[in-house]
Amino acid sequence: MRKNLQWKLLLTLAVTAVCAWFIIPPSQKIRLGLDLKGGIHLALRVETDDAVKSVLDNRNEALVGEFAKRTLSHRGIESELKTASLLIKGFDAVARDEFTKTINTQLPGYAIAQVGADLRITIPAMEVTRIREEAVNDTLERIRVRVDAFGVAEYTVQRQGINSDRILIQIPGVDDPERVKDLVAKPAFLEFKKVVLPPAAAGGGFRGTETREQLVALFGGQLPADVEAYQSDPNSFDGRMAWWPLSLSSPVTGNELLNARPSRGEMGSAEVQFSLTPDAGTRFEAFTSANIGNQLASLLDKRLIQVATIQDAIRENGRITNIGLMRDADDLALKLRSGALPASTTVLEERTVGPSLGADSVRQGVTAALAGLIISVGFMVFYYKGSGINAVVALSLNVLLILGIMSGFGATLTLPGIAGVILTFGMALDANVLIFERIREEMRLGKPVRTSVEAGFQKAFRTILDSNLTTVIAAVLLFQFGTGPIKGFAFTLVIGLAASMFTAIFVSRMMFEFILGEGKRVDRLSI
């Protein structure tokens, strides 16, 4: 055997072995896309404005306190999200230097400008970018913790592109999509607020009012500046919808939790027990011991979910009761443990494929495609006889190569991907046909077998290269500009064309060389 041929054979066997290793057993190694396997695909946008807003509000609150401490007078501070700035309304112009000094020590690096009678403090652009970036990263991290709790292998939680505010989540083996979204996309920001009793209801046992107007009336026609009205959430609030007056500020928030776990209360109802960080615990103890007998409200994502009377000073350990189902408590505890998302999220896209639909598609699509391929391949043997077997080997290897390379890259097989496989299979088939027809033509001209085979390959090569390269160029552009499924299609196409060039030209030619042997004259070729 020629050295050259040995080397070719070795290479072919090595490629085959590697690809085979990547797809055996197929049920484990070939990763099906969610459209075939079933699962949930979510694209979320992190509303980073929320994070900027919350930073603004924090700074706002801090400044209000600081100005009060130094008795600097103003008519209130407004947070302006659009310009990422704070507007100190009607500040005392005489004390301008004092204002500037306070702001500079509190918020170093912030730009200060006078606008009419107001003072505008702007967050530096770099800082805003950092806040947004951090919001996306934190959200990503926390969502990952939550998704991980599903105990599903092969989930994806990733950022869609650099500097984007989009997060892509894929969880195979669909769970109830509602629950997934609740768990993944809700911030779960927990706050505790004091119920500010209206003067008329000082006796205790206040149970809220039916309408907002009634509540406002109890306060004598206007809510105090540090009080906000909240309506209780009937789903988690013994079925009642009532309006409650709550303090603006919260002594502690869910960001200061050490741990949270589900448990059962005395009546067997589900609840979540949580513990606070030592620092927050100290503050909470001071707050609760000063407010024994008063009511404390718990809010989750600005929804009022519980009001309880403070019986005793609470330090680290508290609980949220009356949650309903055990699994809701489990979910809430998980969300609290992972930490609140720093911003709300918007569902941009959702694709849920139920397992039965996915199974149908796989069964029918793959079976039909396979049947079609087998018929085609069978026909090649019928039409080209001995050389047809050559084509069968090349084509089978082609499919093996495509699947092997895809699996090696960790790519998933989707419906558009199957389309790509069919197209490349068609082109590989065409490559074989082109070569064989060319060989036949040369033989018809009366050339000897070996020369015909060589000329056939040589002449067909240019055609195959041109058509494949044109398609590759198109595929690269599709990959560049396309979105998810189109990308998958383009990827399969490029791999398939590379595999097709390899099998139709390299492997098939090698097999012809084997058949024709060396040196001796060949008079007949089964083609």
Partner 1 sequence: MEFFRNPNFDFLGRKKIFVTLTVIFMAAGVISLATRGLNYGIDFRGGADVVLRFAQEPSIDQVRDALSKQGLGGAQIQKLILSDNPGAHDLLVRVPPQEGSQEPTGVESDVSGKILAALRAGLAGTQAPGKVDLNLAGPAEMRRGMALSFPGQEAMVEAAVSAVAAYRTAHDGLISSVEEACQAPGVSPEAAGWLRDNATVGPFAIRSVDYVGPSVGAELKRRAMYAVIGSLIAMLIYIWFRFEKLAYGVSAIITLVHDALVALGAVSLTQKEFDLTVLAAVLTIVGYSINDTIVIFDRVRENLQHRRGGNLEKLFNTSINQTLSRTILTVALVMMTVLTLWLFGGSRLNPFSFTLLVGIISGSYSTIYVSSPIVIWWTNLVEKRARA
Q: What is the closest distance, in whole angstroms, from the C-beta atom of residue 395 to partner 1 in the complex?
A: 10
∠ CA(158), CA(483), CA(143), 5° rounding? Answer: 20
Q: Residues 66, 118, 133, 175: which binds partner 1 (CB under 8 A)?
A: 175
Taking the least distance from each CB to partner 1, the nearer of 63 and 443 is 443
Q: How far is CA 86 from CA 61, 108, 249, 298, in A?
A: 11, 14, 19, 29
Asked if residue 306 lies in contact with residue 236, where contact means CB atoms within 8 angstroms, the answer is: yes
Separation CA 499–CA 494 (nearest Å):
9
Site size with partner 1, rule: CB under 8 A: 97
Site for partner 1 contains 265 (CB under 8 A)? no
Q: What is the closest distance, in whole angstroms, from the C-beta atom of residue 496 to partner 1 in the complex?
A: 10
Phi, psi of 209 (to 5 degrees): -120, 165
Taking the least distance from each CB to partner 1, the nearer of 290 and 371 is 371
Q: What is the closest distance, in whole angstroms, from the C-beta atom of residue 192 to partner 1 in the complex?
A: 22
Write the binding mask 12 to 31 for partner 1: x where contact by CB under 8 A, - elsewhere.
--------------------
Taking the least distance from each CB to partner 1, the nearer of 64 and 357 is 357
∠ CA(37), CA(41), CA(44), 5° rounding? Answer: 175
Stretch that binds partner 1, among 78-86, 100-108, 197-205, 349-357 (CB under 8 A): 349-357
Place of tokens 């990422």: 84
* DSSP code string of 388-442: HHHHHHHHHHHHHHHHHHHHHTTPPB-HHHHHHHHHHHHHHHHHHHHHHHHHHHH
As a dihedral over the C-alpha atoms of residue 218, residue 224, residue 226, residue 230, rounded to 10 degrees, the angle is 30
Write the binding mask 306 to 345 for partner 1: x where contact by CB under 8 A, - elsewhere.
------------------xxxx--x-------------xx
Q: Residues 186, 193, 315, 509: which binds partner 1 (CB under 8 A)?
A: 186
Asked if residue 32 lies in contact with residue 362, where contact means CB atoms within 8 angstroms, the answer is: yes
Q: Residues 104, 255, 346, 451: which binds partner 1 (CB under 8 A)?
A: 346
Q: Residues 4, 360, 518, 526: which binds partner 1 (CB under 8 A)?
A: 360
Q: Residues 55, 174, 229, 300: which binds partner 1 (CB under 8 A)?
A: 174
Site for partner 1 contains 177 (CB under 8 A)? yes
Considering only residues 39 to 98 of the shown chain, the ones binding partner 1 according to CB under 8 A are 40, 43, 47
Q: Residues 96, 114, 485, 516: which binds partner 1 (CB under 8 A)?
A: 485
Considering only residues 419 to 448 of the shown chain, the ones binding partner 1 according to CB under 8 A are 419-420, 422-423, 425-427, 429-430, 433-434, 437, 440-441, 444
What is the SS3 string spanning 401-413? HHHHHHHHCCCCE
The structure tokens listed for 255 are 């960001």
Which are the contacts of 86, defined by CB distance < 8 A and separation ≥ 6? 56, 59, 60, 63, 77, 78, 79, 80, 120, 121
Q: Residues 110, 150, 506, 514: which binds partner 1 (CB under 8 A)?
A: 150
Residues linked to residue 41 through DSSP beta bridges, in sequence order: 170, 351
| R_g over Cα of the chain | 35
Stretch that binds partner 1, among 59-67, 283-291, 461-469, 514-522 (CB under 8 A): 461-469
Site for partner 1 contains 352 (CB under 8 A)? yes
Q: Please give the distance of CA 122 from its chain centroid, rounded to a whole number.
A: 33
Considering only residues 365 to 404 of the shown chain, the ones binding partner 1 according to CB under 8 A are 365, 367-369, 371-373, 375-376, 379-380, 382-385
∠ CA(419), CA(422), CA(427), 5° rounding? Answer: 130
Q: What is the closest distance, in whole angstroms, from the C-beta atom of residue 15 to partner 1 in the complex?
A: 24
Site for partner 1 contains 152 (CB under 8 A)? yes
Q: What is the closest distance, in whole angstroms, from the C-beta atom of residue 78 to partner 1 in the complex?
A: 22
Site for partner 1 contains 356 (CB under 8 A)? yes
Exposed/middle/buried for residue 52 (C-beta within 10 Å: 0-12, 13-18, 19+): buried
